């Protein structure tokens, strides 16, 4: 095992109790993070002068139904300074919410709305948490594993409101 | 005391300048935009959900239909992710063919952008020129892959088939004439006073804002960030090609226009380099778990027949794990994040759509500007709703 990446060693030093696990697969580093500290960790990774993870490349949800905690939120950060990608993960119980990172990266605005829309995971302190791909009033969250692929109303006849 | 009232107008979803089904709610103070709220999702097909229920090979045609102007690039991003997950090497010839096709596709995608963008602003002529060249690229795709808009040319482990006879000459002809064609577009636009007035200092986004909003691709480079996935994280032998990353300075519509024009020239140069140095050899990896056997073998050898049947019906099972692979698509960083649980279908397939994040920054670019500038700004960030809505 080679030396841990700068970002990981810095994180372990700064947040010793919140870094639950670090994995490397095919050269990609993934850190599993305690949910309560996700905002502070992101803030630190963004503002630390040696790291400068200035871009939130991606933020997405994963549903591990029927495991508990059920959901996982995956953050993919990019640092132009280090030319490095770092993946963070937090686990979320159904009904729980996650701190929004929108105030750090504006890119999170739409990405968090998408996770809220398709998985039903709410984000605290998000300025505009609405559905984004589906319409307001849609029932259910399609990317959950217990949502049928063909949709819930597949076998019901279509009756438009007149 | 005078009463201040804002007018709310609705633009789209059926509007020729929104490039698909995008709806914008604009709040106006006279002609100035106070607030812009994009509404997306009209083209949502649930590609990520569909992919969870298909084998890895069956996902490739879905990716063609994301950004339908950049099908080869989408294929490439997906197969790179799966190959990374499997840990297989792709033969050099296949890598070069992939680069060649991806760059031809980038030219075609930028030509659509140029034609429609200037048409939105009011110049009707350039679209006839750009679609003339795009047609040549699509003819090449048709001969190589069999499809024009959705070629589905790439396979996990390589490409579908080798170049047909005589196509290299056609690609060479295209590459030879194309720089001349770019000159033609430039004589129509670059110094055109109307074009300058409509694009200079319009839809500006600063370097810092662009990064913070997750903007990638030519839109980011127009703001002066010299960053391209082909250089930052080289894939498919891009490190063996010579090319530069054009950047803008101001971050306005005009800079993005210049960046895309220069990118087309470099793409053209990469296609020529790939043709000149195209290695000989196989076009598919020899990994028997993943790659279909030779047709001749299937017809004569029972073991190959069984293998063909197994791969087509069951697919293959990559190891447990998760990977992210991205490419520099025509619109920006297109990434695929695959989580495998060891079964023959992806447990989760996440598409990182460049247009989605670029469009997210649109309100930042247009708030405070004139309503007429909305049209040119939307055109300049080059969105495709098929990819935003997935």
pLDDT tens sequence across A6-37:
888 888 888 888 888 888 888 888 989 888 88
Dump pLDDT digits (tens) for B313-354. Answer: 888 889 998 999 999 998 999 999 999 988 889 999 999 999
Structure tokens at B101: 């096709």
What's the pLDDT at B110?
A: 92
CB contact under 8 A, A133 and B348: no
Q: Decide if A72 contacts A92 (C-beta within 8 A).
A: yes
- Give the ipTM: 0.87
Chain A residues with CB-CB distance to B337 below 8 A: 58, 60, 74, 76
Dump pLDDT digits (tens) for B86-119. Answer: 989 899 999 999 999 999 999 999 999 999 988 8
What's the pLDDT at B161?
A: 86
Structure tokens at B254: 């005009």
pLDDT (average), residues B354-373? 89
Q: How far apart are CA B33 and CA B191, in angstroms?
A: 28
Dump pLDDT digits (tens) for B244-292. Answer: 999 988 888 999 999 999 999 999 999 999 999 989 888 888 888 888 8
What's the pLDDT at A1?
A: 44
Angle at B352 between CA B350 and CA B354, to 5 degrees: 160
Chain A residues with CB-CB distance to B335 below 8 A: 57-58, 76
Phi, psi of B340 (to 5 degrees): -110, 135
CB contact under 8 A, B212 and A106: yes
pLDDT (average), residues B53-79? 90
A110 vs B: CB within 8 A: yes
Instruction: Using DSSP bridges, classify how beta strands B321-328 and B158-159 pair: parallel, antiparallel or unpaired.
Output: unpaired
CB contact under 8 A, A26 and B84: yes
Chain B residues with CB-CB distance to A79 below 8 A: none
Q: How far apart are CA A18 and CA B274, in angstroms?
A: 48
Query: What part of A 128-147 touches B (C-beta under 8 Å)?
Result: 131-135, 142-143, 147
The candidate with the shortest Cα–Cα distance to A114, out of A136, A131, A102, A127, is A131
B35 vs A: CB within 8 A: no
Dump pLDDT digits (tens) for B126-155. Answer: 899 999 999 999 999 999 988 888 898 998
DSSP string for residues in B338-378: EEE-SSSS-SEEEEE-HHHHHHHTHHHHHTTSBHHHHHHHH
Identity of the residue in B53, B337, B364 whose CB atom sits nearest the CB atom of A58: B337
The candidate with the shortest Cα–Cα distance to B363, out of B208, B209, B227, B255, is B209
Q: How far apart are CA B155 and CA B48, in angstroms?
A: 19
What B51-54 contacts at long range (C-beta under 8 Å, 24+ apart), as own/partner pairs, is: B51/B346, B51/B349, B52/A149, B52/B345, B52/B346, B52/B347, B52/B348, B52/B349, B53/A149, B53/B345, B54/B345
SS3 B321: strand
Q: Decide if B331 contacts B71 (C-beta within 8 A).
A: no
Percent of chain B surpassing pLDDT 70: 99
Which are the contacts of B166, defined by CB distance < 8 A and separation ≥ 6?
A: none
Percent of chain A surpassing pLDDT 90: 22
Q: What is the pTM of this model?
A: 0.89
DSSP state of B45: -
The candidate with the shortest Cα–Cα distance to A33, out of A77, A71, A82, A87, is A87
What's the pLDDT at B174?
A: 92
Q: Decide if A70 contacts A81 (C-beta within 8 A).
A: no
Tell me the CA distances in angstroms from A79 to A51, B61, B133, B249, B359, one per residue in order: 7, 32, 38, 21, 22
What's the pLDDT at B82?
A: 92
Which parts of chain B are beta strand (E)? Answer: 7-11, 23-29, 32-39, 154-155, 158-159, 321-328, 333-340, 348-352
Chain A residues with CB-CB distance to B364 below 8 A: 106
Give the chain A residue whose CA is nearest to the CA of B41: A133
pLDDT (average), residues B370-377? 88
A22 vs B: CB within 8 A: no
CB contact under 8 A, A106 and B361: yes
Q: Say yes or no to pLDDT of A2 above 60.
A: no
């Amino acid at each position: 095992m080679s030396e841990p990446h700068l970002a990981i060693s810095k994180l372990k030093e700064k947040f010793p109790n919140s870094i639950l696990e670090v994995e490397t697969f095919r050269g990609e580093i993934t850190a599993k993070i305690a949910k309560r500290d996700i905002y502070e960790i992101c803030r630190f990774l963004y503002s630390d002068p040696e790291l400068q993870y200035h871009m939130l490349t991606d933020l997405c949800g994963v549903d591990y139904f029927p495991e508990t905690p059920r959901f996982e939120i995956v953050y993919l950060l990019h640092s132009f300074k280090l030319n490095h990608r770092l993946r963070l993960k937090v686990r979320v119980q159904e009904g729980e919410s996650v701190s929004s990172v929108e105030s750090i990266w504006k890119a999170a605005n739409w990405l968090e709305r998408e996770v809220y829309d398709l998985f039903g995971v709410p984000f605290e302190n998000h300025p505009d948490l609405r559905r984004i791909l589906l319409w307001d009033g849609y029932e259910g969250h399609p990317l959950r594993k217990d949502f049928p692929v063909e949709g819930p109303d597949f076998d019901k006849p279509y009756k438009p409101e007149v | 005391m005078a009463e201040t009232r804002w007018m709310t107008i609705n633009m789209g979803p059926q509007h020729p300048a929104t490039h698909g089904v995008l709806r914008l709610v604009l709040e106006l103070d006279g002609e100035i935009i106070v607030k812009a709220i994009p509404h997306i999702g009209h083209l949502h097909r649930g590609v990520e959900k569909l992919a969870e229920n298909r084998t890895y090979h069956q996902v490739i045609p879905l990716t063609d239909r994301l950004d339908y102007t950049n099908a080869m690039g989408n294929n490439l991003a997906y197969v790179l992710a799966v190959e990374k997950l499997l840990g297989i090497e792709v033969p050099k010839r296949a890598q070069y063919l992939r680069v060649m096709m991806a760059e031809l596709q980038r030219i075609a995608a930028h030509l659509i952008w140029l034609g429609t963008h200037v048409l939105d602003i009011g110049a009707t002529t350039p679209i006839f020129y750009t679609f003339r060249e795009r047609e040549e690229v699509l003819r090449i795709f048709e001969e190589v892959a069999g499809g024009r808009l959705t070629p589905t040319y790439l396979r996990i482990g390589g490409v579908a088939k080798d170049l047909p006879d005589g196509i290299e000459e056609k690609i060479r002809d295209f590459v030879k004439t194309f720089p001349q064609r770019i000159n033609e577009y430039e004589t129509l636009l670059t110094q055109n006073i109307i074009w300058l007035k409509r694009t200079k200092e319009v839809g500006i986004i600063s370097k810092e804002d662009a990064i913070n909003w997750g903007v990638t691709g030519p839109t980011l480079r127009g703001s002066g960030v010299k960053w391209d996935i082909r250089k930052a994280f080289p894939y498919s032998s891009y490190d063996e090609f010579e090319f530069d990353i054009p950047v803008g300075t101001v971050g306005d519509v005009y800079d993005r226009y210049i960046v895309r024009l220069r990118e087309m020239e470099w793409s053209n140069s990469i296609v020529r380099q790939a043709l000149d140095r195209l290695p000989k050899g196989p076009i598919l990896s020899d990994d028997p778990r993943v790659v279909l056997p030779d047709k001749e073998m299937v017809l004569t050898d029972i073991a190959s027949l069984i293998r063909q049947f197994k791969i087509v019906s069951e697919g293959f099972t990559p190891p447990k794990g998760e990977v992210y692979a991205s490419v520099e698509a025509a619109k920006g960083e297109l990434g695929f994040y695959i989580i495998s649980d060891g079964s023959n279908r992806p447990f989760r397939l996440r598409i990182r759509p460049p247009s989605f994040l670029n469009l997210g920054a649109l309100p930042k670019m247009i708030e405070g500007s004139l309503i007429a500038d909305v049209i040119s700004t939307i055109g300049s960030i080059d969105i495709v709703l098929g990819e935003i809505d997935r």
